[in-house]
Amino acid sequence: NAGVTQTPKFQVLKTGQSMTLQCAQDMNHNSMYWYRQDPGMGLRLIYYSASEGTTDKGEVPNGYNVSRLNKREFSLRLESAAPSQTSVYFCASSEVLGGGGYTFGSGTRLTVV
């Protein structure tokens, strides 16, 4: 099915470990986003990429880095995981930056112990 694919679905990390969350979309969308979802906090934007070759910080970028590898793929990296980064992470894409409805992936549930 067309859409946004995220891997892995679940991950447990120890404090200080690093990992990369992968995201790929097959809708030929130009813009991609990474959000985190915490209880009672809604969706908070970590980083976004308006188009291939560009990335910008969102509301909560500290502790994260991103790479827009090509038009399809946008990865999120945690260099040194902290318990405060325990969350559910969602990747999303849209045809243009901010335009219309975003398509979301099914999420990565990350626990940092």
Partner 1 sequence: GQQLNQSPQSMFIQEGEDVSMNCTSSSIFNTWLWYKQDPGEGPVLLIALYKAGELTSNGRLTAQFGITRKDSFLNISASIPSDVGIYFCAGQPNLNNAGNMLTFGGGTRLMVKP
Residue 79 contacts partner 1 per CB under 8 A: no
Angle at 45 between CA 101 and CA 28, to 5 degrees: 40
Report the alpha-carbon distance of residue 38 to residue 25 in Å, rounded: 24
For tokens 């500290």, the residue is: 62
Q: Is 59 in the site for partner 1 (CB under 8 A)?
A: yes
Question: How many residues of this chain interact with partner 1, rule: CB under 8 A?
Answer: 24
45 binds partner 1 (CB under 8 A): yes
Instruction: For residue 85, report the phi and psi dihedrals to the nearest 5 degrees.
Output: -95, 5
If binding is defined by CB under 8 A, does position 97 make contact with partner 1?
yes
Using CB under 8 A, list all residues that contact partner 1: 4, 33, 40-43, 45, 48, 50, 59, 90, 92, 96-107
